Amino acid sequence: MKRSDRLVAMTNYLIEHPMELVSLPFFSSTYDAAKSSISEDLAIINKMFQSEGIGFLESFSGASGGVKYIPKHSKKRSEEFVEQLCKQLEDPERILPGGYLFMSDLLGEPNTVRNIGRLFATEFSDLDIDVVVTVATKGIPLAYAVASFLHVPVVIVRRDPKVTEGSTVSINYVSGSSRKIQTMVLSKRSLQEGAKVCIIDDFMKAGGTINGITNLLKEFNAHVAAIGVLAEAEDEEEERVVNDYTSLVQIKNVDMKTKQIEVVKGNFLLG
């Protein structure tokens, strides 16, 4: 196969298999080329991935060696994306009763969701995450986007047990904003004991829901290595119960009377 043909095929293969170790012999036999040619191809791909701001190839030497595509959103791309997100969220049409913001349209765009996933994966790619956990419903697409870049499975915590989940573990927790006792359930066979977990959700106020997930995960002896929320907002009535988290945007002021919203960059990229 010619170099130009190989570059297209290998680029596609690497993008489709992020965080997966691919051996040089695999490329060599699949695309019928000498290892030295493959090495040169990979150098070109690595250079271009970096200049396009989508990550880089990590090389592993030795018998079990090869390359791994590490997706990383460049700082420039990340900042541009988050700024645009803030602007979109400041649209006064989004204000709902209770000072909530309508975000379902943004969360319904696969491209936006994929970019959010790439940002969190960029932040968490060094943590050896085993699984991404979220709670139904709005966090689900974000969780899958993060998981696809980290190359790990997704586990969904539910509010209600369902027959198709098999036996479940459940906990009760107090929701921060409504002060109501709520239930969370997780299928017993969905999570391995001692897994290293990243929690993803769309929105956090006091953090009651995320705290609930953390408590539920304790029943599985899971270790929460990272928490990522798309948007955080302050809760005037209650102190935050979750402190160590990454947010992309922060909803500062929602003024129902003047229909003004202020949305700023979250604590992402500040560390």
**Which residues sit at the interface with a copy of itself, rule CB under 8 A?**
3-5, 7-9, 11-12, 15, 44-45, 47-49, 51-52, 54, 96-98, 100-105, 108-111, 113-114, 136-138, 140-141, 144, 147-148, 151-156, 158, 163-166, 187, 189-190, 203
**Residue given tokens 């293969």 in the structure block:** 13
**Which of 78, 187 has the CB closer to a copy of itself?**
187
**Which of 81, 100 has the CB closer to a copy of itself?**
100
Determine phi and psi for 267, rounding to 5 degrees.
-80, 5
**Which of 145, 242 has the CB closer to a copy of itself?**
145
**Which of 143, 270 has the CB closer to a copy of itself?**
143
Closest CA to 140 of 152, 157, 124, 127: 157
Closest CA to 220 of 175, 171, 166: 171
User: Residue 110 CB, nearest distance to a copy of itself (Å)?
Assistant: 4
User: Residue 17 CB, nearest distance to a copy of itself (Å)?
Assistant: 8
User: Residue 81 CB, nearest distance to a copy of itself (Å)?
Assistant: 13
**Which of 63, 209 has the CB closer to a copy of itself?**
209
Closest CA to 145 of 117, 104, 110, 165: 117
Q: Do 22 and 9 meet the contact criterion of CB atoms below 8 Å apart?
A: no
User: Residue 221 CB, nearest distance to a copy of itself (Å)?
Assistant: 19
What does the block give as tokens for 230?
A: 């798309």
**Residue given tokens 């803030």 in the structure block:** 86
The count of C-alpha atoms lying within 13 angstroms of the C-alpha of 145, restricted to the half-sphere facing its C-beta, is 26
User: Residue 61 CB, nearest distance to a copy of itself (Å)?
Assistant: 23
What does the block give as tokens for 77?
A: 């791309």
